[in-house]
């Protein structure tokens, strides 16, 4: 039985397009989810994390040699500058994102809050885990982050980001010197974790943890775009969530 509307039939008659396909296109709904500041922050943050990961790797494992006189090169200096600049962008961006969680729509707050005491939330989390493990044939539809993604973003990104900012600026404070703003705000991290080398080690492990999270995040987003019931990647570009059925 056809579900197409009379207007769809008229358009089909005029253009030769299948009426059911036209009707399906007219039935697609979209919801404005992510406001412009959230979307801009997301992509700038993605760039900052990429720069931090690449430069952080080479800071921990510098290139073995460079041709010519050492005085002719400032490669590690440029790498360190890029790392520090990206760290400022990352930290200030997170502060701005926290501010927008207070003044933006309710979807802007999903990154920082979890309804841990709501049984229905955990039911949906386990359903999405089953979906990601190919055990559930069809996921539910969600306007904002799905419950599993929301849990992953809070634990795998937000808490991880706080850890990386604290350990990173603690190490940065050593270079700026005792009494610097970084030393006054984050100097307590080094004695708390033991010594400077311990902070270096944990900060580098945190970098690999962030790389794993980003890899899984990109995979899940593309997978949901292909197999899920709503748009994912395009939503973070346009702000609108569209539904496939």
**Structural domains of the chain, with CATH:** 1-32 (no CATH), 34-242 (1.20.950.20)
Neighbours of 48 (CB within 10 A): 21
Total-model pTM = 0.83
Question: pLDDT tens, 57-81?
Answer: 999 988 777 777 766 778 888 999 9
pLDDT at 101 over 60: yes
pLDDT confidence of 28, banded at 50, 70, 90? low
pLDDT at 27 over 60: no
Quote the Cα angle for 93-114-143, to 5°: 80
Give yes or no for residue 162 having a pLDDT over 90: yes
Mean pLDDT of 187-191: 95
Q: Which of 7-16, 131-140, 206-215 has the lowest mean pLDDT?
A: 7-16
User: Per residue in 116-138, is it b (16+ CB within 10 Å) or e — as a string?
Assistant: eeeeeeeebbebbeebbeeeeee
| Cα distances (angstroms) measured from residue 4 to each of 13, 43, 166, 193, 230 | 13, 39, 58, 65, 22
67 burial type by CB count under 10 A (0-12 exposed, 13-18 middle, 19+ buried): exposed
Residue with tokens 């307590």: 188
pLDDT of 144 reads 86
Q: Are 199 and 173 in contact (CB under 8 A)?
A: no
pLDDT at 22: 44
pLDDT at 10: 45
Q: What is the chain's percent helix, strand, coil content, to nearest 5?
A: 70, 5, 25
pLDDT exceeds 50 at position 6: no
């Amino acid at each position: 039985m056809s579900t197409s509307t009379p207007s769809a039939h008229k358009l089909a008659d005029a253009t030769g397009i299948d009426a059911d396909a036209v009707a399906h296109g007219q039935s697609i709904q979209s919801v404005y989810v992510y406001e412009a500041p959230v979307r801009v922050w997301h992509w700038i943050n993605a760039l900052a994390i990429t720069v931090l990961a690449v430069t952080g790797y080479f800071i921990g494992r510098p290139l073995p040699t460079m041709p010519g006189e050492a005085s002719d090169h400032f490669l590690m200096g440029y790498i360190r500058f890029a790392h520090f600049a990206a760290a400022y962008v990352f930290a200030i961006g997170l502060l701005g994102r926290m501010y927008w969680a207070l003044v933006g729509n309710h979807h802007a707050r999903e990154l920082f809050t979890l309804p841990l005491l709501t049984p229905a939330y955990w039911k949906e989390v386990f359903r999405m885990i089953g979906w990601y493990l190919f055990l559930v044939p069809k996921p539910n539809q969600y306007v904002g982050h799905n419950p599993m993604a929301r849990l992953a973003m809070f634990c795998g990104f937000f808490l991880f980001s706080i850890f990386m900012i604290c350990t990173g600026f603690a190490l940065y404070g050593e270079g700026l010197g005792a009494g610097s703003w970084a030393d006054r705000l984050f100097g307590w991290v080094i004695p708390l974790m033991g010594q400077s080398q311990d902070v270096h080690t944990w900060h580098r492990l945190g970098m690999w943890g962030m790389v794993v999270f980003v890899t899984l995040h990109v995979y899940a987003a593309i997978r949901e775009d292909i197999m899920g019931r709503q748009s994912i990647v395009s939503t973070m570009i346009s702000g609108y969530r569209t539904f496939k059925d």
